[in-house]
Structure 1
Amino acid sequence: MKAVVAYRGGDDTPEALELGATLRRTTGAELLVVAVLPPTSEPGTERVDLEYRQWLDSVADQARRTAVETLSPGYPDGLEFRRIASNSVADGLVRVAEESDVDLLVLGSARAATQGSLLVGSVSSRLLHSSPVPILLAPQGYGGDPLATFGSLTCAYAGTDRSREALAAACSLVKRYDGHLRVATFVPRANTMYPPEVGLDAEDMVAAQWAEQAVELHEDALEFCKNHGVTAVETVVARGQGWPGALTAIPWSPNDILVLGSSRLGQLARVFLGSTATKILRHTPVPALVVPAGTYTWSD
């Protein structure tokens, strides 16, 4: 398995590096740290501004030093670091992913995110609609434990084709490190699901119907996992007020991973999140792995 860890220093917080380190400790993945920076000149320009070029060089050098300190302390030659020239960070990362035949991209949260939350920034938002490989996203403040490995993999499952793709990816990944797999169906409840005159009976009836559907979904998921070589699977129905309540209904550990599926965009396999997946991603308290259709297998 090979992963690109996106890190430019500066405005990029170190969560992507920390998550990359956890991925490597857990799965033995090979890491390639990539800093996508603007080109030093435009086509047809004869003279490059020296100070600007020197500043970009210093940014790249600092990013490399930080990456080495986090991922390969004392062994600067033991870490592959690459500087890519592009006016678009997302385009640069997609190019590296396609040219280097990597399995996934590792990104941090937007800098404006609050501690422990995952906020999709402009780069990750664009990648969530253009990446040809799965994306692993770190919440703000993730990391710090030099011995941490992945905990449970929790797959959001709704019985759709894309959630099956995500579950297949989770099965394949959890077998790599003999981890714990959990299948979750999220049931967000609106604050005013029914008017007062209807009473609680209707809400109880809907909750019972949801529970019955969840049992059927989970039976399907367990059979699916069994066919993919994973038999020890926990199932959970996560209910709560709105998506925040549903997401926090699961007893997460800091190094658990939430796995989500995505649709296809166009004729090629690309990440494309639906509205439900976007809401789940917005409220997850743990790192999230978003799997595009057709990309659930991992290289050795």
Structure 2
Amino acid sequence: MSGRVVVGYHGGATGRDALAFGTQWAVTSGDTMVVVTVHPGAAPAGLARVDAEWAAYERSAAQDLIDEAKGLVDPSIGAEYHRVDAGSAAHGLSDLVEPDSDDRSLLVLGSRRDRKMRRTFPGSTAERLLHGTAAPVVVVPWGYGHVEKKRLERVAVAFVDTPDGQVAFAHAVRIAQHLGASLTVLTVVPDTRVVPGLGESRQFSSEQRKGYQASLDAVLATAPAGLAVSGRVLDGPVVDALGDLSLDDYDLLVVGSRSYGPVRRVLLGGVSSRVVRHAKVPVVVAPRGD
């Protein structure tokens, strides 16, 4: 991976959280940090047109946000700042990160403060981008702007031996290599409530865990030489196990998209959609088939 870390900024604590993670990524990776605000452009002439005064007001408000962001980012980062005209924030950000070369972008968004715990919780813009944008999307927990850590050194990936799990692992490997970070592959043994009609339930649970461990060992064996990689088997429920990971454990968690739909698009599946609403660490959702 190389290229840009694109931070969607619309002010407030959510914006500061996204800026904090974007700064950490830029410092660790050397990628260019691009801070973006989106405002509506003028509509075509007609009954629904936006008048010139309102359009000017929106541009001015967007510029105020850019100026605000500049005051929050260390000048040594060398960040770029852009105002984008678009019908919606999701549209403007998605167009900005559409791939047109070998360059790669990472899109960073903050969480809305919908609860009293510091967890990820995507707002409306993030929800739309998590269902179709081309670039990997990072959802940052609210309150992350107070994190003092300067570098990203510990990457984790949620792995299950499926096509989307393999894609998530491959993407996490590239992230860890790009950041010069360690990688921990996490596999979660589900909290299975259904027990076979024949045989002893404890034995079934043991065999199930052995199967997950075997899949974990197999994927660890494919990791490139020189990467500091390890594995952990966690006990389910899956969303609870991944949602309880904290910044004391890892700096970010990579999850995959669902296994069907357009390739090279972020497409949240059932587990990843719940993880991205409950995580205590930044969550990177990898595009399908990346």
Same fold (TM over 0.5): yes
TM-score (norm 1): 0.82
Separation (CA, whole Å) in 2 of partners of 1:13 and 1:67: 8
* Deviation, structure 1 residue 215: 1.2
* 2:137 and 2:285 in contact (8 A); partners too: yes
**Partner of residue 44, structure 1:** 45
Q: Are residues 1:293 and 2:259 paired?
A: no
Separation (CA, whole Å) in 1 of partners of 2:58 and 2:93: 18
Separation (CA, whole Å) in 1 of partners of 2:82 and 2:168: 30
**Partner of residue 96, structure 1:** 96
* Deviation, structure 1 residue 273: 1.5
Could you say what the CA RMSD is over the residues aligned between the two structures, in angstroms?
Answer: 2.9
Instruction: Please list, as runs of the form range in 1=range in 2, the aligned pairs for 1:161-172 lying within 5 A after superposition.
Output: 161-172=163-174
Separation (CA, whole Å) in 2 of partners of 1:256 and 1:216: 26
Q: Are residues 1:142 and 2:144 paired?
A: yes
For residues 99-119 of structure 1, the C-alpha deviation after alignment (integer angstroms, 9 at most, x for no partner) is 775421111112324442011
* 1:171 and 1:229 in contact (8 A); partners too: no
Separation (CA, whole Å) in 2 of partners of 1:26 and 1:132: 23
TM-score (norm 2): 0.85
* Deviation, structure 1 residue 79: 2.9
Separation (CA, whole Å) in 2 of partners of 1:112 and 1:243: 19
CA change 1:270–1:251 in 2 (3 A) is: closer
Separation (CA, whole Å) in 2 of partners of 1:48 and 1:158: 49
**Partner of residue 162, structure 2:** 160
Separation (CA, whole Å) in 2 of partners of 1:205 and 1:102: 47
* 2:156 and 2:250 in contact (8 A); partners too: no
**Partner of residue 298, structure 1:** none
Amino acid at match of 1:178: G
**Partner of residue 258, structure 1:** 253
Count of matched residue positions in the alignment of Structure 1 and Structure 2 = 282
Amino acid at match of 2:43: E
- 3-state SS of paired residue (1:167): helix
CA change 1:181–1:130 in 2 (3 A) is: same
**Partner of residue 107, structure 2:** 105
Instruction: Please list, as runs of the form range in 1=range in 2, the aligned pairs for 1:193-208 lying within 5 A after superposition.
Output: 193=193, 202=201, 204-208=202-206
2:186 to 168, 184, 187: 184
**Partner of residue 80, structure 1:** 80
Amino acid at match of 1:67: A
Separation (CA, whole Å) in 1 of partners of 2:6 and 2:157: 23
Amino acid at match of 1:112: D
- 3-state SS of paired residue (1:153): strand
Separation (CA, whole Å) in 1 of partners of 2:140 and 2:84: 22
* Deviation, structure 1 residue 153: 0.8
* Deviation, structure 1 residue 164: 1.4
Instruction: Please list, as runs of the form range in 1=range in 2, the aligned pairs for 1:12-31 lying within 5 A after superposition.
Output: 12-31=14-33
* Deviation, structure 1 residue 152: 1.4
- 3-state SS of paired residue (1:148): coil
Q: Are residues 1:272 and 2:267 paired?
A: yes
Separation (CA, whole Å) in 2 of partners of 1:22 and 1:230: 23
**Partner of residue 121, structure 2:** 119
**Partner of residue 32, structure 1:** 34
Separation (CA, whole Å) in 1 of partners of 2:12 and 2:58: 11
**Partner of residue 239, structure 2:** 243
Amino acid at match of 2:95: R
* 1:157 and 1:164 in contact (8 A); partners too: yes
142-151 vs 214-223, which deviates more? 142-151
